Chain A
């Protein structure tokens, strides 16, 4: 669209400046997006910020979200803000410098992090949040950016909104997990407690929630742990595949890996307690 007044909604996510450039009107969704991305809002972004473009076409009533040559058409404002939020994080992860960016949750206790790599639906969000009632501090539930530090490869905190299903929410509420929300009138979006400080990885556990299955906790070889990490990794523009590979090998040397299949939250937490009572690799 041309000759339409635009506004920039500026964010800094994982250290990456990102602007959502959108029509000033209609603006009902601006406040909702700001609420969804509240921990990352900044007053203004530098000129070199990545730009996610949003246009509105009155003729078909559709929003057009454009980034990196790709465009998506969306009709519903709730879906619009969820899509933009996802796009903001995709952009941030792709461009953030870091040893490895993983799809995974993480918590920390006594200076060591428990990393829970896994795709959506494996239970990593529910486990990450529930662990905060057992002496762990929250780091992230979905995007784990890892940095090389003098103390080893460490998980960076990420305050992205958690996606919590109704069933998980009931269990987390029962356990007394602190959650703020729902955010932006999205019934499954919540902010967790403020994330803790980055911590080197001490344990790696790939969870898989299987309500009809049996509890199993299987140690992985270090090579299997490398495979787990690489298959959970996001593509990063700042890292070659070879560099990601090297980081995964270094991380598998640093921390033992396990595969956890759990039928209930209580069983999953008990198994994680069993793993993490072992002394982590210093």
Chain B
């Protein structure tokens, strides 16, 4: 049975974030017409629900950008959202906590 985690966001533990977050390649993302998205992790049949902002951050976790750069890009895209860089950090921390990320090339695994 697929298990769903609740929508990403909210309070997240103070984890050491990866330098350049990279999502695991086998995780599938389906972006819905309303901008929300679901992730499906075939490793453990878990599903995850993303808001539109979460889907954007997930897409940016391609190993090419630092968390700060993701936050800065998000702030440019969404200037009307308060502390969007903080939201990006929380989302990346959530992804990491749920073991959805992997080490980027040249980066050691945690």
Contact = CB atoms under 8 A, between A and B. Distances in A.
Give the residue among A227, A230, A244 with the most B Cβ atoms within 10 A: A227
Contact of A230 (B32, B36, B47): B47
Interface residues of B, number: 20
B66 interface: no
Contacts of A252: 32
A231 B35 CA distance: 21
Interface string A218-248: 0001111011001101010000011011000
A249 interface: yes
A253 interface: yes
Contacts of B47: 226-227, 230, 245
A222 B34 contact: yes
- Interface of B, secondary structure class, is loop
Contacts of B110: none
Nearest to B3: A231
B95 interface: no
A235 B34 contact: no
Given A230-B2, A230-B4, A241-B2, A222 B51 contact: no
Contact of A249 (B3, B32, B45, B49): B32
A253 B30 CA distance: 11
B48 to A, nearest CB: 9
B49 A224 contact: yes
A253 B4 contact: no
B37 interface: yes
A6 B99 CA distance: 55
Nearest to A230: B2
B98 interface: no
Nearest to B42: A242
Interface in B1-50: 1-4, 7, 30, 32-38, 40, 42, 45, 47, 49-50
B49 A221 contact: yes
A227 B7 CA distance: 10
Contact of B4 (A222, A231, A242): A231
B24 to A, nearest CB: 17
B1 A249 contact: no
10 contacts: A221-B32, A221-B36, A224-B36, A226-B38, A226-B49, A227-B4, A227-B47, A231-B2, A241-B45, A245-B2
Interface of B: 1-4, 7, 30, 32-38, 40, 42, 45, 47, 49-51
Given A222-B32, A241-B2, 18 more contacts: A221-B32, A221-B49, A222-B33, A223-B32, A224-B36, A226-B30, A226-B49, A227-B4, A227-B47, A230-B47, A231-B2, A231-B4, A242-B40, A242-B42, A244-B2, A245-B2, A249-B30, A253-B32
